[in-house]
């Protein structure tokens, strides 16, 4: 299917992999996926492994992303990492507003919005995550919740930087649970998000922004998910920690 949007498959390693383990995984991926150009392949290791993984992937077509960053450019913010520091390590993408950070670090849409602007100002491509919980879905609030998250996270943004950004729909109930949204369920929300983009920005922007799906993506369900008209890639958690599995997901998405 020609969506005129290049698929983007990203592995979110979360808080996994020591530096030697990360180097080994990146090397394995590089061997198999290092020349892939039909779609964008990104890995997002923990901060501690970014430098070494960047080095391993330097000569490949694969790109490196971070899992979070500060909204500030520098200063007295103990324990934080600034966008410029990520740029130093050849990082191109940064995941923002992942539901685990919203849940465990109390990240709000306003904070995600500030981080997004800081990322774009530094030349990083943000991957902004949205998604409803199980009880919100059960209560029929999915579109309301996702719409509110988009309104807050993308506040004040112009169409041009929006087109450089990536959105990820990650239903919280599908993350790490083995319970994937069905392709139809995912497509429905992706179509809602694209309609939202069209109303908030314009048709061109809606047509250009890539929207990833995340939540228990596996080799067995990748093809069908990627075949949906408004799904433009995957944000893969658990299945990105094993080279063979992640390679299969990418291959099945081609």
Active site residues: 98, 170
| 239 is a contact residue toward ligand 13P (CB under 6 A) | yes
| 46 is a contact residue toward ligand 13P (CB under 6 A) | no
Q: What is the dihedral of CA 116, 59, 226, 233, to 10 degrees?
A: 0
Nearest Cα residue to 165 out of 199, 120, 215, 214? 120
| 214 is a contact residue toward ligand 13P (CB under 6 A) | yes
Nearest Cα residue to 214 out of 2, 6, 14? 14
| 231, 236, 247, 250: which one binds ligand 13P (CB under 6 A) | 236
| 237, 247, 250, 253: which one binds ligand 13P (CB under 6 A) | 237
| 66 is a contact residue toward ligand 13P (CB under 6 A) | no
Q: Which is nearer to ligand 13P, 46 or 238 (CB)?
A: 238
For 211, how many CA atoms within 13 A lie in the half-sphere containing its CB? 28
Tell which positions 166-205 bind ligand 13P, by CB under 6 A.
170, 175-176
Number of H helices, E strands in the chain: 12, 8
| Alpha carbon distances (Å) from 149 to 68, 163, 250 | 17, 18, 28
CA gap 228, 190 in Å, rounded: 9
Contact 201, 243 (CB under 8 A): no
| 215 is a contact residue toward ligand 13P (CB under 6 A) | yes
Q: How many residues bind ligand 13P (CB under 6 A)?
A: 14
Contact 166, 193 (CB under 8 A): no
| 149 is a contact residue toward ligand 13P (CB under 6 A) | no
| 12 is a contact residue toward ligand 13P (CB under 6 A) | yes
Q: Which is nearer to ligand 13P, 15 or 76 (CB)?
A: 15
- Least spacing, CB of residue 83 vs ligand 13P, in Å: 20
Q: Name the site residues for ligand 13P (rule: CB under 6 A).
A: 12, 98, 170, 175-176, 214-217, 235-239
């Amino acid at each position: 299917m020609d969506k005129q949007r290049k698929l983007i498959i990203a592995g979110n390693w979360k808080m996994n992999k020591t530096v030697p383990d990360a180097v080994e995984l990146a090397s394995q991926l590089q061997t198999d996926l290092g020349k892939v150009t039909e779609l964008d392949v990104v890995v997002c290791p923990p901060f501690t492994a970014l430098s070494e993984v960047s080095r391993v992937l330097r000569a490949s077509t694969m790109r490196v992303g971070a899992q979070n960053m500060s909204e500030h450019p520098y200063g007295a913010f103990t324990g934080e990492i600034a966008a410029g520091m990520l740029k130093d390590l050849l990082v191109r993408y940064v995941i923002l507003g992942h539901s685990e950070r919203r849940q465990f670090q109390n990240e709000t849409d306003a904070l995600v919005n500030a981080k997004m602007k800081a990322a774009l100002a530094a030349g990083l491509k943000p991957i902004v995550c949205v998604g409803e919980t199980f009880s919100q879905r059960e209560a029929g609030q999915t579109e309301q919740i996702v719409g509110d998250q988009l309104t807050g996270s993308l506040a004040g943004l112009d169409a041009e930087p929006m087109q450089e950004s990536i959105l990820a729909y990650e239903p919280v109930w599908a993350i790490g649970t083995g319970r994937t949204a069905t392709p139809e369920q995912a497509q429905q929300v992706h179509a809602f998000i694209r309609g939202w983009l069209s109303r908030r920005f314009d048709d061109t922007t809606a047509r250009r922004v890539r929207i990833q799906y995340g939540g228990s993506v596996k080799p067995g369900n990748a093809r069908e998910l990627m075949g949906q008209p408004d799904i433009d890639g995957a944000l893969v958690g658990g299945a990105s920690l094993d080279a063979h599995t992640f390679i299969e997901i990418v291959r099945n998405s081609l």
